[in-house]
Amino acid sequence: MFPDDSINVLGGALTPCSSDPVTGFFRDGHCNTCAEDRGSHTVCAVMTDEFLAFSKYLGNDLSTPRPEFQFPGLKAGDQWCLCAARFLQAYDEGCAPRLRLSATHLRALEIVPLDALESRAID
């Protein structure tokens, strides 16, 4: 299991998303992906209270620590490799978090249109 090419949605090298908390499907700080990453954890999102509440409401509580999975729980301001489909769902509902294009994997475009990503970009 090796990551696909580490290219961002801008066509450049994929930059790190977060090492505190450490994120990514491979827990390497990057939003790298591979065939085994069925959730496509490819969008480097900056968490907001609104998005965390939305995700919890939909059954994916990202704010509660889960030590058994080495998961610290997220808070507003944390950067996290988010599932592309969840980002798109939040975008459609008007509560998508901001994101970093340079740290968002090219494969996010298989799920999320570039204009949607660009509209929430901070870089």
Burial of 45 (0-12, 13-18, 19+ CB in 10 A): buried
Max Cα–Cα distance, the chain, nearest Å? 38
* Tokens (6 digits) for 103: 């740290």
Average pLDDT, the chain: 94
Chain centroid to CA 8: how far?
12
Mean pLDDT, to the nearest integer, of 2-22? 88
Percent of the chain with pLDDT over 90: 90
Mean pLDDT, to the nearest integer, of 66-88? 94
* pTM over the 0.75 mark: yes
pLDDT of the residue at 5: 79
Whole-angstrom CA distances from 62 to 3, 11, 16 are 24, 29, 20
Mean pLDDT, to the nearest integer, of 98-106? 98
pLDDT at 69 over 50: yes
d(CA 63, CA 53): 8
d(CA 117, CA 4): 20
